[in-house]
Amino acid sequence: SQQGEEDPQALSIQEGENATMNCSYKTSINNLQWYRQNSGRGLVHLILIRSNEREKHSGRLRVTLDTSKKSSSLLITASRAADTASYFCATHGNTDKLIFGTGTRLQVFP
């Protein structure tokens, strides 16, 4: 399968703590994207990082990309209960398809 792997599969933290999720993929990419999904609903695009970028920030989100290791991480700082959701990485490569990872389920307790 081309699907990427994410770890951990599930993560539980307290409000105010940071959450880090990792994504590994298999093929060469043009860019890597992170999406959030609340309770089996549609996905929301969070951030995109191009293959020639190493780090990107957006508000409380920080994404890193290491193309030599074919891996990326998403850091959510100062988490809130509203951040509770599933987070997916998705790679965009030469096939022009988005290939999603297996997802990390994040639970933030108030």
Partner 1 sequence: KAGVTQTPRYLIKTRGQQVTLSCSPISGHRSVSWYQQTPGQGLQFLFEYFSETQRNKGNFPGRFSGRQFSNSRSEMNVSTLELGDSALYLCASRPASSNNEQFFGPGTRLTVL
Question: Where along the sequence are the contacts to partner 1 (CB under 8 A)?
Answer: 3, 30-31, 33, 35, 40-45, 48, 50, 88, 92, 95-103
- Give the shortest CB-106-to-partner 1 separation in angstroms: 16
- Give the shortest CB-12-to-partner 1 separation in angstroms: 19
| CB closer to partner 1, 11 vs 100 | 100
- Give the shortest CB-59-to-partner 1 separation in angstroms: 17
| CB closer to partner 1, 17 vs 102 | 102
- Look up residue 67 and give its DSSP letter: T
- Give the shortest CB-3-to-partner 1 separation in angstroms: 6
Write the DSSP string, 16-64. Answer: TS-EEEEEE-SS--SEEEEEEE-TTS-EEEEEEEETT-SEEEETTEEEE
| CB closer to partner 1, 68 vs 94 | 94
Closest CA to 88 of 71, 100, 77: 100
Per-residue 3-state assignment (H helix, E strand, C coil) for 5-21: EEECCEEEEECCCCEEE
| CB closer to partner 1, 5 vs 17 | 5
